[in-house]
Amino acid sequence: MSLSDNRTHRFSNEPGPKNFWEKQYDKLSHNPKADSRPHQVFIDKIQTMPEKDYTPPLSSLPVFIKSSPAVERLAARNNLANTAFSGDKVISRAQASLFMAGYKLGDDKRLGITGKMDHHTIQALTEFQNAAGLEPTGKLDLETMKALDLVTQKGLTKSEIEALGKQTALEVSKQLSLEKQHRLIQRNQLVEAEWNGKGNLDIATAQASLKLAGYDLGHYGIDGIAGRYTKAAILQFQKDRGLNPTGILDSETMIALENATAEGWTRPTQASKQETKIEAPKPKLEHKITIDKESLPKYTVSYERFVSIKRQSEIDAYAKGAPLDPVRLNQTRLKTMGFNIGPSGADGLPGPNTRNAIAAFQQAFGLPVTGELDRETIARIESEYAKGARGREIKESKMTQSANNQHTHTRDIKLKWIKIDGIKIFKGTYQVIIRSDVSNSFANAVKEINELGGMVVSGGGIRPLNLGGEKGQSATSLHYFGVAVDLAVGYGMQNPNKDPYVIVREGGTDANPRWRVYCRTTNKAVKTRTLEAVIWKKDVGIISQKVTDRFIDITEIMKKHGWEPISARNDWKTNYLSCEWWHFQKTDTIPKNATFGSELLKVYDQKEVDKYFGNKRAKFLNYIWQSGVFKENTQKGK
């Protein structure tokens, strides 16, 4: 069988039982009261059918016309494409062709024909390209659209396309003459010669086609960015080719540009119709950006779930046909997340303010600080934007000393409290709420533990100011200003065979031992080990018991993310709450010689601090951070 076979369509008059779809077509097309446009009536009927009725064997649905020749099959395809009330025309026609061949696009009432490049369409396109011997990009290019037109004309099904294999691509190649193919190769060489690899490849390719056709791209030329010159060129091209003049590089315009390039077409106002000659590739200009990393503003990042849901819908809408302007888009996202892009706003121009905002974002998320919108940065901006990230600039703290020798703290902006997801909530445990500048590191530790099959069962993070350092609580605890977290206190040192956490003695002194925390997992990638687990006994201290299982080293993961354990208190043998195996804290945010009061004022107003730290507790405000604790002279403030 070949693609040129003159095949009879399935809706022929061959004997045999008719399926549901044939009966529906006959009913509509032979009814004298039916609309004179049987295709449209048939489509309308599809849209109103219950879901169970419109799931036919896809192989029986290449077109909706009896004994339909190639032209009528394409007309039927185009009618079916009209079920996409919005979206891109070329995408909807491609979806209709894929559906008619038997590719699954979705189960909505429009049969997945939406005019939008969703994940169903990308998957179906990739499958089709693979089957037809085309490059499996999941994108609509000229060759793919011509191949879809071809299989629609012939009424081929998915299995038949797969059986033909590369023959479909060869047929398309014949349609594109050697001369046309050469022009497309020249266009691609122009992209390679002039594009610097930044921005968007599809835009750069379109810019090369526009340049070859004689359109002005402005000073930046082929840069992969849809700036004002490129948009103006697209708009004029659409007018010249009779397309909907939107200035947006949609699929219809991209296919039209491919055709124009293959034809050697130039804009009507050009005096010469000669093809633009491709010169030898010139050395690419390197745009060096100087970033003063020391002067970049520092940001703390928090995440909001409902913001994430809203932003994800925006990203989906953009992916399904919004304008392709990566600079403006990423400027908008940076600004929305709280990064300062300057007074010009999202203008589509990568000026110094935008570059500084990009560099600040890169610094906040541990990327190479270049100030450029490279692929890694663009992907990370979209990822963090989708997760509901909000950045807040951290202003430098200024310490002043009042007349009564009390330290006060003034700032332009306060840090936030952040609730961390991924925490298991059992009876008697709490969600972890901590300070925003340490939230990312703890969230990453939780994520790593969860991915290994372990769990974080919490005893909380923040401690209210009205809890005044009762028995088992430090008067200058780091919990007060949100840089310490506890695992669930009663979930270890009780019964190593059942406890979520298994505790092992690791150094320290008899008066102040240190611990290492493990938790069980069923993850087979984690090796089995035998631990010398400890059980707390009042007035005795601990007794040991060997336990063998798959264990995750919680302490190792926490330390990797900057969260350090502490040793037990002196009275740990008589008071279980002084064992402190559950306590981890992040102290690299506390500057040397900072006071306990100054750290409180990073998250609380002076009024709140004064309210709860008056009288006997006031002295603790002036304790100084030294050697990992807050001290007053030689007195240890724990």
Domain regions of the chain by residue span: 20-175, 178-263, 293-394, 428-637
Please classify residue 543 by burial: count the beta carbons closer than 10 Å to its beta carbon, then call 0-12 exposed, 13-18 middle and 19+ buried.
Answer: exposed
Q: Which of 521, 430, 431, 535 is nearest to 492 (CA)?
A: 535
Is it the case that residue 461 has pLDDT exceeding 80?
yes
Q: Confidence band (pLDDT; 50, 70, 90) for 251?
A: confident
Query: Which pLDDT value is given to residue 565?
Result: 94
Global confidence as pTM: 0.40
Q: Are the beta carbons of 95 and 84 closer than 8 angstroms?
A: yes
Bridge partners (DSSP) of residue 529 are: 549
- DSSP for 196-211? -S-S-HHHHHHHHHHH
pLDDT winner (highest mean) among 74-88, 236-250, 335-349, 540-554: 540-554
Mean pLDDT, residues 22-41: 44
Q: Confidence band (pLDDT; 50, 70, 90) for 484?
A: very high
Which strands sit side by side in the sheet containing 458-460, from one edge to the other?
458-460, 484-487, 583-585, 564-565
Is it the case that residue 307 has pLDDT exceeding 90?
no
Is the model more confident about 564 or about 304? 564
Q: If DSSP states are collapsed to H, E and C, what string results for 2-58? A: CCCCCCCCCCCCCCCCCCHHHHHHHHHHCCCCCCCCHHHHHHHHHHHCCHHHHCCCH
Query: Which pLDDT value is given to residue 318?
Result: 61
State which amino acid sits at residue 269: T
Is it the case that residue 409 has pLDDT exceeding 50?
no
Contact residues for 206 (Cβ-Cβ < 8 A; gap 6+): 230, 234, 249, 253, 254, 257
Residues in the chain: 638
User: Which strand (E) or helix (H) includes residue 298?
Assistant: strand 298-303
Q: Is 121 helix (H, G, I), strand (E, B) or coil?
A: helix
Is it the case that residue 219 has pLDDT exceeding 60?
yes
Tell me the CATH architecture of domain 178-263. Orthogonal Bundle (1.10)
Mean pLDDT, residues 577-593: 89
Mean pLDDT, residues 330-349: 84
Is the model more confident about 468 or about 244? 244
Report how far residue 457's alpha carbon sits from residue 426's, in angstroms, rounded to the nearest whole number.
Answer: 7
Our measurement of the distance from residue 217's CA atom to the centroid of its chain's CA atoms, rounded to an integer in Å, reads: 31
pLDDT winner (highest mean) among 161-170, 320-329, 409-418, 518-527: 518-527
Q: Confidence band (pLDDT; 50, 70, 90) for 509?
A: very high
Mean pLDDT, residues 427-437: 73
Is it the case that residue 586 has pLDDT exceeding 70?
yes
Our measurement of the distance from residue 435's CA atom to the centroid of its chain's CA atoms, rounded to an integer in Å, reads: 24
Q: Are the beta carbons of 549 and 528 closer than 8 angstroms?
A: yes
Is it the case that residue 115 has pLDDT exceeding 50?
yes
Q: Confidence band (pLDDT; 50, 70, 90) for 255?
A: confident
Q: What are phi and psi of 637, to 5 degrees?
A: -100, 105
Query: Which pLDDT value is given to residue 21?
Result: 41
Percent residues over pLDDT 70 in the chain:
75
Report how far residue 605's alpha carbon sits from residue 613's, in angstroms, rounded to the nearest whole number.
Answer: 12
- DSSP for 182-245? HHHHHHHHHHHHH--S-S-HHHHHHHHHHHHTT----TT-S-S---HHHHHHHHHHHHHTT---
Q: What are phi and psi of 434, to 5 degrees?
A: -135, 180
Q: Confidence band (pLDDT; 50, 70, 90) for 363?
A: confident
Query: Which pLDDT value is given to residue 633?
Result: 57
Query: Which pLDDT value is given to residue 501?
Result: 93
